[in-house]
A and B are shown apart, each in its own frame.
Chain A
């Protein structure tokens, strides 16, 4: 099964609302990353959080990491139609570069 599993699988919100998606993983990790994929730009790296960090911000993105629960969340504030995409978490088990992606959360932002 996947190392990272996102929840929910799909999310539909109105423009201006916040979107929260979660990721769970199974093994110890050095870092966790979030990526966005849409048909126009392919897979794009959003943010990386290291195992010794609990929270990180980048623009309208806020990521948290709870290593005791093996989970992470991605919050997108003040969403825009352009945020419509699939969002994936990716984690390499400690000591490897074998990045494992989840199945993704499909976000739809309605104008």
Chain B
């Protein structure tokens, strides 16, 4: 399967701990997005990369959240000093800059539970 993969699929952490999630996009996709989704809501945009450049960030991506895409391939999302309000599903998506541009392919998500 050559779709978007995310690791881990589930993460339980104690409040105040740091967590890091990884996303591996479809190999030929230049664009990569991170979203957060809570129960009953649609995905909420966090950040967007084109190749290795982080071009857009939500105000939600404050000092506790950081994302990187060091070589324009995989990406990591780190949350420092987690809070219970960070409990959510974190989704990664990728898309191509050409061809079917704009069509995002989503990974299965990482479900974070902060206790």
Count of chain A residues near B, Cβ 8 A: 21
Contact with B along A83-111 (1 / 0, CB 8 A): 00000101000001111111110000000
Interface flag for B62 (CB, 8 Å)? no
CB-nearest residue of chain B relative to A96? B56
A48 and B42 in contact (CB under 8 A), knowing A42-B108, A43-B91? no
Q: From B33, B93, B102, name the one whose CB has the most chain A CB atoms within 10 angstroms.
A: B102
Main secondary structure of the interface of A (DSSP, over half): strand
Residues of B within 8 A of A97 (CB): 31, 33, 48, 50, 55-56
A102 and B42 in contact (CB under 8 A), knowing A33-B102, A97-B31? yes
Distance in angstroms from A85 CB to nearest chain B CB is: 13
Contact with B along A57-98 (1 / 0, CB 8 A): 000000000000000000000000000000010100000111
Distance in angstroms from A17 CB to nearest chain B CB is: 25
Q: How far is the CA of A97 from the CA of B44 in the complex (A)?
A: 13
B43 contacts A101, C-beta separation under 8 Å: yes
B42 contacts A2, C-beta separation under 8 Å: yes
Distance in angstroms from A96 CB to nearest chain B CB is: 6
Q: How far is the CA of A105 from the CA of B17 in the complex (A)?
A: 35
Residues of A within 8 A of B48 (CB): 97-98
A100 contacts B45, C-beta separation under 8 Å: yes
Residues of B within 8 A of A100 (CB): 45
Contact with A along B85-110 (1 / 0, CB 8 A): 00000010100000010111111110
11 A-B pairs within 8 Å (CB atoms) are namely: A4-B42, A33-B103, A42-B108, A48-B100, A88-B42, A88-B43, A97-B33, A97-B48, A97-B55, A99-B43, A104-B42
